[in-house]
Amino acid sequence: MTNDLIHATAAELAAKIHSGEVSSVEVTRAHLDRISETNGKVNSFLHVDTEGALAQARKVDDAVKAGEKVSPLAGVPLALKDVMTTEGVPTTCGSKMLEGWLPPYDATVTRKLKEAGVVILGKTNMDEFAMGSSTENSAYGPTRNPWDLERIPGGSGGGSSAALAAYQAPLAIGTDTGGSIRQPGAVTGTVGVKPTYGGVSRYGLVAFSSSLDQAGPCARTVLDAALLHEVIAGYDEMDSTSINEPVPAVVAAAREGLNGDLSGVRIGVVTQFQGEGYQPGVLRSFQAAVSQLKELGAEIADVSCPSFDYALPAYYLIAPSECSSNLARFDAMRYGLRVGDDGTRSTEEVMSLTREAGFGPEVKRRIMIGTYALSSGYYDAYYGSAQKVRTLITQDFQKAFATFDVLISPTTPTTAFKIGERANDPMAMYKADLCTIPANLAGTPAMSVPSGLSDEDGLPVGLQIMAPALQDHRMYRVAAAYEAARGAFGGPSL
């Protein structure tokens, strides 16, 4: 029974809970037990909120018993990335800077989850302040990939994706600034969606790079991701960059896709994202996906987006520039860590000592890169040029979407690499985000759906699907149709 409950999809669990076949408390306990059994190996959760989760589950069970109408995911458990504030529940962002901090308020995403009756199991591990591609930059130890515990689960949201792959939760929330939802999804064999920028509120999402940060749903199936998408999306007046437009009908699109017909859908294959530097098994998996999409009736052709070759350098100027400003808030005065305040030191000295002690190496590197790129004398050559590349990338997307409904590419150039392999080589680490970054710079939606396992190492591969802004439903339809055609590809044994 427990085994059935942890392997079920969110949609299946919701149906069982709402019909009274099983209680939310039973479902929640099964997942809490699974976390106790496996978290020592995977380190996906930084904090498990047993009492809060069970209290929420009981509330849903009472409502079901009383015959009340509950929302579509009420009673289903979820893993929340530790970058979203949760009132009275620890929120660390994977940093020592916020160790022990209890936020005084809920993020909008947290509030919406609670209002929808979703059961928040706890908070998941991540690269410090979401800066990284492997979750090795967490101050609380790396998360391990359930498919191979010696390998990384991707990052920055490695904890959320590993929790899904390890059957610790059927749903999770991630945030994606340069690929932090999609790249972990790809390397753990799970679904990860970055919605249109502004589609999901950033209120209470601890800021890394505000013009790029976007929260989104993670799940093991496309339909589950769509159901979660509709819970968290929508206009929020607490976020000045929130888009005041109706939420794209992603659940209907996913259900439509499940009928397996993509006749007339025009799909462009981005030619920049293949060839040198790409693992042969990843490319073979991608080609197999292209063939299956053709069989489903899609019209497929190559499309060139030349500026995408410059997305990685542009991103590694824009994101650090914004982070150098955003992380100035960690000043040792209002919340978080303070060290060195012995009565003799000035505010500035205490601030510098605290930031030195509280931030890890990657965060320091990015703050300094950003400080450099924004400094007078270098601004035009670095930050200014990166902003122009951002314009070119947006234009390349616009041109491509004039001909194609969606674009596709591999999500990542390689499968999961070994823990420690790229830890001392920042540029090698940054290349994990090669294919995911353009969508962040343009603010367009993109997702990763598993395309099975690489034939050379047996590790998961992701297919990336990109759509125009506010057309999130298009990629859900294609992803759901592809997922059904692809079929099952097994799961990790833990």
Partner 1 sequence: MPSISRDEVAHLAKLARLAVTEDELDLFAGQLDVILQSVATVGDIATADIPPTSHAVPLTNVFREDVVRPSLGQQQALSGAPEAEDGRFRVPRILGEEA
Return d(Cα 159, Cα 21) in angstroms, integer. Answer: 30
Cβ at position 198, least distance to partner 1 in Å: 5
- Is residue 162 a contact residue for partner 1 (CB under 8 A)? no
The site map against partner 1 for 315-334 (x = CB under 8 A) is -xx------x---x--xxxx
Only one of the segments 22-30, 168-176, 266-274, 440-448 lies at the binding site for partner 1 (rule: CB under 8 A); that segment is 440-448
Which stretch of DSSP H or E encloses residue 421?
none
Taking a C-beta distance cutoff of 8 angstroms, is the pair 181, 174 a contact? yes
Taking a C-beta distance cutoff of 8 angstroms, is the pair 446, 476 a contact? no
Tokens read off for 21: 């076949």
- Is residue 276 a contact residue for partner 1 (CB under 8 A)? no
Three-class secondary structure of residue 113 per DSSP: helix
Q: Which of 52, 90, 234, 313 binds partner 1 (CB under 8 A)?
A: 313
Residue 267's DSSP bridge partners are 300, 406
Cβ at position 244, least distance to partner 1 in Å: 9
Q: Which of 20, 41, 102, 260 binds partner 1 (CB under 8 A)?
A: 102
Return d(Cα 231, Cα 243) in angstroms, integer. Answer: 16
Catalytic residue among 44, 180, 307, 448: 180
Report 341-360 residues binding partner 1 (CB under 8 A): 341, 343, 345-353, 355-356, 359
What burial class does residue 377 get, using C-beta atoms within 10 Å of its C-beta: 0-12 exposed, 13-18 middle, 19+ buried?
Answer: exposed
Only one of the segments 1-9, 27-35, 175-183, 370-378 lies at the binding site for partner 1 (rule: CB under 8 A); that segment is 370-378
Q: Which of 365, 421, 491, 494 binds partner 1 (CB under 8 A)?
A: 365
CA distances from 8 to 2, 77, 173, 194, 311 (A): 10, 12, 18, 24, 38
Taking a C-beta distance cutoff of 8 angstroms, is the pair 337, 354 a contact? yes
The site map against partner 1 for 454-483 (x = CB under 8 A) is ---------------x--------------
Q: Which of 438, 208, 435 is nearest to 314 (CA)?
A: 438
Q: How far is Cα of residue 427 from the mean position of the Cα atoms in its chain?
A: 21
Which active-site residues does the annotation give? Answer: 81, 156, 180
What residues make contact with partner 1 under the rule CB under 8 A? 101-105, 197-198, 211, 237, 240-241, 243, 307, 310, 313-314, 316-317, 324, 328, 331-338, 341, 343, 345-353, 355-356, 359, 361, 364-365, 367-369, 371-372, 375, 381-382, 384-392, 394, 426-427, 441-444, 469
